[in-house]
Amino acid sequence: MSETNNNIGLKVGLGILLTLFLVTAFYTSKLYNEKKETEATLVKEKKQVMNDLNIMAKQYDDAIGENDIANDKLVEARERIQGLMDSLKVSQNSVGSLWRYKKKYLALQEEMDDLLVENDRLKVENELLATSLDSTQIQLVERSAFTDSLLVQNTELADVVKDAGALQTIGLKGYGVIERSSGKQIPTERARRSDKLKVCYTVAKNILTDAGDKELYVQIIDPRSNVLGANNQVEFEDQVLNYSLISRFNYENRNLNICEFVAPAGDDKFEKGRYIVNVFNENILISTSEFSLK
């Protein structure tokens, strides 16, 4: 009887040991697989952070390459990104380490957004300063209107007065703008950042033009040859004109600065490429210009 009990006890003990062994083996295998999955996930996320940093570095390279004189702030930010990339390459694949690099990346992303907006603003402002030369052109337009009035000796008086009294525009310029919620507008050359297109020009002083309410047709053509804005039509005898908007104003026989805006259709973004801006007085093209968005 005692020997039988001993055999039973031995079998129970062996069963318990076998169960413990199997349980231990199961959990060991599970922990090993979880470790491998974690390591694979960390390697994948590390590659993603490195890819994001490479994209950011390329954007800085493009912005720096657009200027003849390098922007010191952009160069310094580009060097910080390179340093972070070099450090990430030799870093350990740990959750804590990867989280620190992600935080640094997000901080650099926010800094880059501000720097690129500032860079775009400075570039557009420099271009706008160049239009100060238009003051000489304004004087020439005024003198031309006076000279035209003297040509009645050899031409039909009515035709000359009509031509000399036509509205003329100068300094036509178009560019993209970022529109803040406060209403502040920041010039930009980047298509994806542009909330609206801004078109500005000056209606030149002309003493031969009757004062009062006037209108000009503004036509903005995108890189795909589409007319932006309202894209309505107006007929002039045998000619049809597609226009983006009608610029209406009160003319008082003196120089008048005018700016108009065109937004993209629906949720669409503006295309990258060359844009053409035309201004018509009825069916007569009186001014044209072009600009590019990147």
Report helix angle 72-89 to 95-130, nearest 10.
Answer: 160
Q: pTM, whole model, 2 decimals?
A: 0.48
Query: How far is Cα 53 from Cα 4, in angstroms, rounded to an integer?
Result: 73
162-211 confidence digits (pLDDT tens)? 455 678 899 999 999 998 988 899 999 999 999 999 999 999 888 778 88
Average pLDDT of the residues in 133-147: 60
Query: How far is Cα 67 from Cα 240, in angstroms, rounded to an integer?
Result: 42
Query: With contact defined as beta carbons under 8 Å apart, do 134 and 173 qualify?
Result: no
Please say if the pLDDT value at position 242 is more than 90: yes
Average pLDDT of the residues in 41-61: 74
pLDDT of residue 178: 93
How confident is the prediction for the chain on average, in pLDDT? 76
Query: How far is Cα 202 from Cα 168, in angstroms, rounded to an integer?
Result: 8
Query: How far is Cα 191 from Cα 217, in angstroms, rounded to an integer?
Result: 24
pLDDT of residue 22: 64
**Cα distance from N-terminal residue to C-terminal residue, the chain:** 95
Q: Measured in whole angstroms, how far is the alpha carbon of residue 98 from the centre of its chain? A: 31
Query: With contact defined as beta carbons under 8 Å apart, do 49 and 28 qualify?
Result: no
Please say if the pLDDT value at position 290 is more than 50: yes
Give ∠ CA 285-291-279 in degrees, rounded to 5: 20
Query: With contact defined as beta carbons under 8 Å apart, do 204 and 141 qualify?
Result: yes
Average pLDDT of the residues in 245-249: 94
Q: Phi, psi at residue 254, to the nearest 5°?
A: -150, 165
CB neighbours of residue 161 within 10 Å: 14
Nearest to 162 by CA among 204, 214, 206: 206
Average pLDDT of the residues in 224-239: 91
Query: With contact defined as beta carbons under 8 Å apart, do 208 and 149 qualify?
Result: yes
pLDDT of residue 27: 56
Query: With contact defined as beta carbons under 8 Å apart, do 167 and 253 qualify?
Result: no
pLDDT of residue 159: 46
Please say if the pLDDT value at position 263 is more than 80: yes
Average pLDDT of the residues in 83-111: 68
Please say if the pLDDT value at position 20 is more than 80: no
- Return left, alpha or beta for 78; rule: phi > 0 is left, psi -120 to 50 is alpha, else beta: alpha
Query: With contact defined as beta carbons under 8 Å apart, do 177 and 188 qualify?
Result: yes
Query: With contact defined as beta carbons under 8 Å apart, do 279 and 201 qualify?
Result: yes
Find residue 176's DSSP bridge partners.
Answer: 188, 197
Query: With contact defined as beta carbons under 8 Å apart, do 242 and 227 qualify?
Result: yes
